[in-house]
Chains A and B, each alone.
Chain A
Amino acid sequence: MNRRLWTFIGGGLLVALVLAGVVSTYASAHPDGLESALREGCAVDADDTIVGGSCPATREEAHEIGGPLADYGLAGVRNDMLATGLSGVVGVLLTFAVGGGACWLLRRRDPTPAGTDPTPAGTGADPAVRPGRQAAGPVDPDSGD
């Protein structure tokens, strides 16, 4: 696998980890656009808790699962900043694993992997020449997977 690509992926992941693990603890705690629109008609106090009135948000029901990372916290960790940061780190790694893993399984395979060419000759098209394949230097040692 292309080492430059993985340098980029690694750098991008590092940025995401810092954003989710550190910067997120400074994010605004006010309700977002959707939530605030659903609260129109209700009165809220200084902590953004609904204290009266009628609005769509009053019909909100509990989440089916919840779980130890619910609401971007971490069960058992009292420190809010630490809990948010740690859950953010878990989330970044999890979404990378799930998203990248699913896409890796779904990706197009090269029709003729090196060394296992099923039809050495006879097909009209030449599969050896493919754009996007970098043919520079020897085979990358970590190209196995």
Chain B
Amino acid sequence: MEPVAMHISNGIINGPVAAVFAAFALAALVVCVLRGRRDLDDRLAPLAGLVAAFIFAVQMLNFPILTAGVSGHLMGGALAALLVGPWVGALCVAVVLVVQALVFGDGGVAMLGLNITNIALLGTAASYLLIALLLRVVPRTPAGLAATGFVAGLVSVVVAALGFVGQYWLGGTVDLGGNLAGLAGTMVGVHVLIGVGEGLITATTVVTVATVRPDLVYALRRQGPATAAAPAAGGVR
């Protein structure tokens, strides 16, 4: 059976750059722990475990995309940010990546900082910024939440892909001969398609949770200030 790897393997990015990103990721995760503790209570802690487990499961579900011979899979940053907030969300995705690297041989251990930076940190941060913005302007309906999840999911995947391009620019082990733009174009192109899948999964999941237990959706809980400042006519500004 062909090895199934989803994350950056050893040898793709050189050691020094990988080490720098490992230090960066570690520092950022410490910040996530400190800030996330404010959100973590008896209710959010088990939910965070579920989010991590769910993301692990759905990451296994490689789906075909329009390009022949290429698959995509969930990254999960947007979903985690919606359900448990950006700080705990980033920690959930990081837990998935650590388990995958240490137990499932997916993503080099030396590359863990790179993978955490792209998927757990950049993906979650970008999507949460979008979520915070979009939930102020979209109507408070399942459709509005779905649209938010879709856009946040799509953008988070493209941002994570660009993170890898930046890392490859810094420390890629194959000299592309100035053709970094080619790698960037391929990465963005294919990840826009994967992002559509990510967006659909994110939207479906968050709307499902919001239907069953709206009180468990972090992004909906945190609408107090937004509601107070909400414009009379939502949607268009």
Contact = CB atoms under 8 A, between A and B. Distances in A.
Contacts of B51: 99
A40 B4 contact: no
Nearest to B10: A61
Contacts of A94: 99, 103
Given A62-B10, A80-B1, A103 B71 contact: no
B1 A30 contact: no
Q: Which 8 A-B pairs have the closest CB atoms?
A: A100-B49, A99-B52, A70-B105, A61-B11, A20-B57, A28-B71, A96-B53, A103-B45
Interface of B: 1-12, 33, 36-38, 40-58, 60-65, 67, 69-73, 88, 91-92, 95-96, 98-100, 102-106, 108-110, 161, 164, 168, 172-174, 176, 182-183, 186-187, 190-191, 193-194, 212-213, 216
A69 B8 CA distance: 18
Contact of A107 (B37, B63, B104): B37
Interface string A69-96: 1111100000010001001100111111
A96 B194 CA distance: 25
Given A69-B104, A96-B52, A102 B61 contact: no
Contacts of A93: 53
Interface residues of A, number: 75
Contact of B104 (A13, A30, A47, A72): A72
A37 interface: yes
Interface of A: 1-2, 4-6, 8-9, 12-13, 15-17, 19-20, 23-24, 27-38, 40, 44, 47-49, 54-67, 69-73, 80, 84, 87-88, 91-104, 106-108, 110, 132
A64 B212 contact: no
A106 B56 contact: no
B172 A56 contact: yes
